[in-house]
Amino acid sequence: MADDTAVADAGVSDALARMPAQDAAASEASVVDGSLDAGGVDARTLDAASDSGDAGSADSGATGCGAGGGPAASVTVGGVAYSLNWHDEFDGTTLDSSHWSATATWCCGQGTNVPQNAYLSGGCLELKAAKSGSSYTSGWVDTQGKYTFTRGYVEIRARLPKGQGMWPALWMDEVSGNPFAEFDILEMLGNDSTTIYETNHTWPQGGGSGTQVHQCTDHGPDFSAGFHVFGFLIEATKITWYVDGTQTCSTTQGINTNPVFLMMNTAVGGVGSWPGAPNSSTVFPNTMDVDYVRVYE
């Protein structure tokens, strides 16, 4: 997720400058068939029917939190078996502090991240953007210092918020490296809830301008109208994005060599930023609803 201001993340670098994403590259998509069980089963196969990619989990989007079923113990993607290594189903009453932190202050947009804007409700993690007077607050969680992985398949079921100035993102940063990799599983601009951006970047340690390595633009359904499954596969020589059973993007450039940690947030854009500032039509409070996060290695 690229920010419009210079920001600092002590866990990654002393001063990390973020830049807005630029115009999207042409969309890359290949629809393939896959076979999967309904969830809460011992194994699931995500084998492709063609050489172009693999089908991730499909989701009708119509049902709510918890409707995605329990996690499979293993998945097979492209003929490679991955075992469930880490997951959060958000079924409790409070955010699991052994999994997540909600206190990052270095990113993103004009809203201030506050811990009370990341909470569990009805089997979902809610990441809330709110307005008080002329000020905004945002919801943020990350696994920095708590969980990392290097290779594997990530799956997140979520409903995204819409509205001018809304800026939801599911993403990852490499814990070290110069430059270090950033993987945006998705970003969405709230004024167009039918388009998501799938991007990877590299950033220099100690601050400076980043490089957009690759970006795909996925024009899909209204991602604010229901839940969808967003998948991301990290292999040694390729990274691949999936949405609801369709491979939407892949690249062999900018692959991480060090572990990555997870981040999810609902940011509020500012004047002159990529998403732009909210206007009188923007509804507050507004939330991104996350049903689960699962990592298979």
Tens-place pLDDT, residues 196-249 = 999 999 999 888 889 999 999 999 999 999 999 999 999 999 999 999 978 999
**The two structure tokens encoding residue 247:** 């491979």
Catalytic residue from among 28, 187, 235, 297: 187
User: With contact defined as beta carbons under 8 Å apart, do 274 and 199 qualify?
Assistant: no
pLDDT given for residue 207 in this prediction = 81
pLDDT given for residue 58 in this prediction = 64
Mean pLDDT by 10 residues, the chain (297 residues): 40 30 31 29 43 49 78 87 97 97 92 96 97 96 98 97 98 95 97 98 88 95 96 96 91 96 97 93 98 98
pLDDT given for residue 144 in this prediction = 97
**The two structure tokens encoding residue 104:** 């990052």
Q: Cα separations (Å) of 255 from 217, 237, 250?
A: 19, 7, 11
Active site residue 198: no
Tens-place pLDDT, residues 99-121 = 999 999 889 999 999 999 999 99
pLDDT given for residue 150 in this prediction = 98
Active site residue 182: yes
What's the gap between Cα 32 and its chain centre?
A: 22
User: With contact defined as beta carbons under 8 Å apart, do 9 and 18 qualify?
Assistant: no
Confidence (pTM): 0.84
Using CA atoms, how far apart are residues 143 and 8, in angstroms rounded to an integer?
17
pLDDT given for residue 57 in this prediction = 64
Nearest to 244 by CA among 4, 25, 46, 41: 46
What's the gap between Cα 42 and its chain centre?
A: 26
3-state secondary structure the chain: CCCCCEEEECCCEEEEECCCCCCCCCCCCEECCCCCCCCCCCCEEECCCECCECCCCCCCCCCCCCCCCCCCCEEEECCEEEEEEEEECCCCCCCCCCCCECCCCCCCECCEECHHHEEEECCEEEEEEEEECCEEEEEEEECCCCCCECCEEEEEEEECCCCCCEEEEEEEEECCCCCEEEEEEEECCCCCCCEEEEEEEEECCCCCCCEEEEEEEEECCCCCCCCEEEEEEECCCCEEEEECCEEEEEECCCCCCCCEEEEEEEEECCCCCCCCCCCCCCCCCEEEEEEEEEEEC
**β-pairing, 74-77 with 228-234?**
unpaired
3.40.630.10, 1.20.58.1690, 3.40.50.410, 2.60.120.200: CATH of 24-296: 2.60.120.200
Catalytic residue from among 155, 182, 198, 235: 182
pLDDT given for residue 62 in this prediction = 59
pLDDT given for residue 13 in this prediction = 30
Nearest to 1 by CA among 14, 18, 22: 18
pLDDT given for residue 61 in this prediction = 66
